[in-house]
Chain A
Amino acid sequence: DQQVKQNSPSLSVQEGRISILNCDYTNSMFDYFLWYKKYPAEGPTFLISISSIKDKNEDGRFTVFLNKSAKHLSLHIVPSQPGDSAVYFCAASDYNAGNNRKLIWGLGTSLAVNP
């Protein structure tokens, strides 16, 4: 049973437009969320994170929004660039689980940004 769900396996957008990648979670104890980006033949790289005490975190072209009541977060990329074409993973953890804390990963969304 997937606790972190990325329901769109793929997404295609035009260069310069906004990319919106979505992530839903089921465990209400999750209170720390991360996005990683992965290029082919490389390992994932950390992109941006958000704590549940916030509803928005911004870093340059990347913004993550968190809606706790809906158990939903989204990653916005504005403007999208061809170099953003990659697989994006959402991950979550229960920050207060102590020794039982672990990262739970979604399956990823493959983003293609077309020139």
Chain B
Amino acid sequence: NAGVTQTPKFQVLKTGQSMTLQCAQDMNHEYMSWYRQDPGMGLRLIHYSVGAGITDQGEVPNGYNVSRSTTEDFPLRLLSAAPSQTSVYFCASSPDLASSYNEQFFGPGTRLTVL
């Protein structure tokens, strides 16, 4: 079991560029989510999905899109990168929504810098 994997580990973008952060899990978890971690702030939820074909917004969804075409994959798209999106991004999964408020399994993170 690889658990939750994220690619890339590091990325530098210029303002206005777009890119996709990849997230995959091999635990057959229904619930997947994206967080960002910024200095001076706790982890903040961007988007989440409770199953294939179902996504919803978290606390800070603006500037990001997600889709969930399969159980395994949950990519996060930055439509037009801005310096305010410089952050560390974590993908997480759990068996279902109910258990997401207990144990979530996190990927190693993607460190994104937007110049």
Write the residues of chain A forming the contact surface with B, with a CB cutoff of 8 angstroms: 2, 4, 32, 34, 41-46, 49, 89, 91, 93, 95, 101-108
In the complex, A106→B41 CA distance in Å? 8
5 closest residue pairs by CB, A with B:
A43-B106, A105-B42, A46-B103, A105-B43, A93-B101
**Can you list 15 contacts pairing A with B, beta carbon distance less than 8 Å?**
A41-B108, A43-B106, A44-B43, A45-B106, A46-B102, A46-B103, A49-B102, A89-B42, A91-B42, A103-B43, A103-B100, A105-B42, A105-B43, A107-B40, A107-B42
In the complex, the answer to whether A46 meets B104 with C-beta atoms within 8 Å is: yes
- Interface flags for B69-108 (1: CB within 8 Å of A; 0: not) read 0000000000000000000001010000000111111111
Residue B51 interfacial (CB < 8 Å):
no
User: Which residues of chain A are within 8 angstroms of B104 by Cβ–Cβ distance?
Assistant: 44, 46
User: Which residues of chain A are within 8 angstroms of B41 by Cβ–Cβ distance?
Assistant: 107
Residue B4 interfacial (CB < 8 Å):
yes
Distance to closest chain A CB from B84 (angstroms): 19
